[in-house]
Structure 1
Amino acid sequence: MEIIDKTIQVENKPSITYTHYQSGSDKMCFMFSGTGYTYDSPALYYATLLLLEKKYDIIQIHYSSIDDLLRLPLEEIPELIFQMVNPVIEEVTSNHQYSEYVFIGKSIGTMPIVLEYMNQERFNDSKWIILTPSLKIDRMAYSLLNSKQIAYIAIGDADPHFNFAAIEKLKQKQFQLDIFPKANHSLNIDGNVSASIKVIERILNKIDELL
């Protein structure tokens, strides 16, 4: 296996860097981290190891100019994130034809998945893992509620992005949904290490089932 770091420069836009775990597989996972929740954080770190065990190629996208982005109104961020990451998706899919795609997103990284890629016909048969989505953004909740895709969604009810009304509607849909009592946006339960570990274990078991 090779681990390759690449940077794409798009005219009049910030450069975007990604890491490609390349083993010659015909299965690809695109991973979109959060801002503070990086690929070294538990859910994404162990998901990466699990994917490598199962012989997936992996793309981990690294955002640029993220501090400037986060100063913008929340409703403006999804489109800008998509414009930032999409050149990576286009480059990878144009250079190699994969038979299977998996998308894993955490927090801000769920935005391009939910609002764009889940609605693209070319990814209709893909697998979707949506961790702590920003359900207080109306477009995010609406897009999920109207999606025909089957996704695994995990969020804690102590997460500031938790939206009770949206969750109640999502429960009526086709999604596999885990709501973790007292878990925050980092999927931790403050003051309870063993319970926090069980949250991550549950998420990894669900990812394992989906793969």
Structure 2
Amino acid sequence: MYAEKLAVIFPGIGYTHDKPLLYYAKEMAREHGYKVIEITYKLPYKSHEVKGKEEVMHSVFEIALKQTIDQLKDVEFDRYEEVLFIGKSIGTTLAGYYAWKNEINAIHIVLTPVAETFKFLEGVKAIVFHGTADAWCDTELARKQCCELNLPLHEIQGANHSLETKETIKDIKNLKGVFKQIEVFLF
């Protein structure tokens, strides 16, 4: 076993590694000694073409899953002392499914899950962040699922699926709060 830790970043459809939540999560992981792998997807749809369309969402999931499997095929997860999966939006579902399917005992940082994410978080060490104005995941569903799964849920009042409120200073303060919670949870 390596004396190493591994973090895998699973982005959303339009929320890539260079956006604030994933960028700072990646940097925080590196600061704490994690080797970082960034998953990327080449998808035939934009996020607005997927929302509310179950068949299209399933297709996007399958396409992204194949690309994820291909990018992680040579990773020997059992050689790491700790594995951290950081997901955003559909990436939270991909991370949960991938860990479940491959029996990887990963810790999950769940940034704005979609409803399907919760199917794969039973018995998992995870922390969940959700905006109460998130159009991709109902707040009551997130509360109910986190309660049933005994997962800490951190709600950002009035925030959308990117955890943004359209008030820049407030968003920066919220971002700081998110990463303080992650730091307490992990380190």
Sort the TM-score into its range (normalised by shorter chain).
Answer: 0.7 to 0.9
Question: How many angstroms does 1:201 deviate by?
Answer: 1.0
1:1-211 to 2 correspondences below 5 Å: 26-67=4-45, 73-93=56-76, 97-118=79-100, 120-121=102-103, 123-124=104-105, 126-135=106-115, 139-144=116-121, 147-172=122-147, 173-190=149-166, 192-209=167-184, 210-211=186-187
Partners of 1:152 and 1:176 within 8 A in 2: yes
Q: Distance in 1 between matches of 2:27 and 2:76?
A: 22
Q: Distance in 2 between matches of 1:194 and 1:49?
A: 21
Q: Distance in 1 between matches of 2:80 and 2:120?
A: 26
Map of 1:16 onto structure 2: none
**TM norm structure 2:** 0.83
Q: Distance in 2 between matches of 1:157 and 1:109?
A: 19
Q: Which runs of 4+ in 1 moved over 4 A?
A: 68-72
Question: How many angstroms does 1:160 deviate by?
Answer: 0.7
The 1:87/1:29 distance shift into structure 2, 3 A limit, reads same
Partners of 1:102 and 1:127 within 8 A in 2: yes
**TM norm structure 1:** 0.75
Q: Distance in 2 between matches of 1:202 and 1:36?
A: 23
Q: Distance in 2 between matches of 1:65 and 1:52?
A: 27
Three-state SS of the structure 1 residue aligned to 2:91 is helix
Partners of 1:111 and 1:133 within 8 A in 2: yes
Aligned length: 179
Partners of 1:150 and 1:174 within 8 A in 2: no
Consecutive unaligned residues of structure 2, counting only runs of 5 or more, are none
RMSD: 2.4
Partners of 2:14 and 2:46 within 8 A in 1: no
Consecutive unaligned residues of structure 1, counting only runs of 5 or more, are 1-23
- Give the counterpart letter for 2:110 in structure 1: I
CA deviation map 1:77-124 (0-9, x unaligned) = 323321220122221227x82121000011121121123314543x22
Q: Distance in 2 between matches of 1:41 and 1:76?
A: 24
CA deviation map 1:120-163 (0-9, x unaligned) = 43x22x2110111112xxx434444xx11121111101111122
Identify, as 1 or 2, the structure richer in helix: 2
Q: Distance in 1 between matches of 2:120 and 2:34?
A: 28
State percent identity of aligned pairs.
28
Question: How many angstroms does 1:76 deviate by?
Answer: 3.2
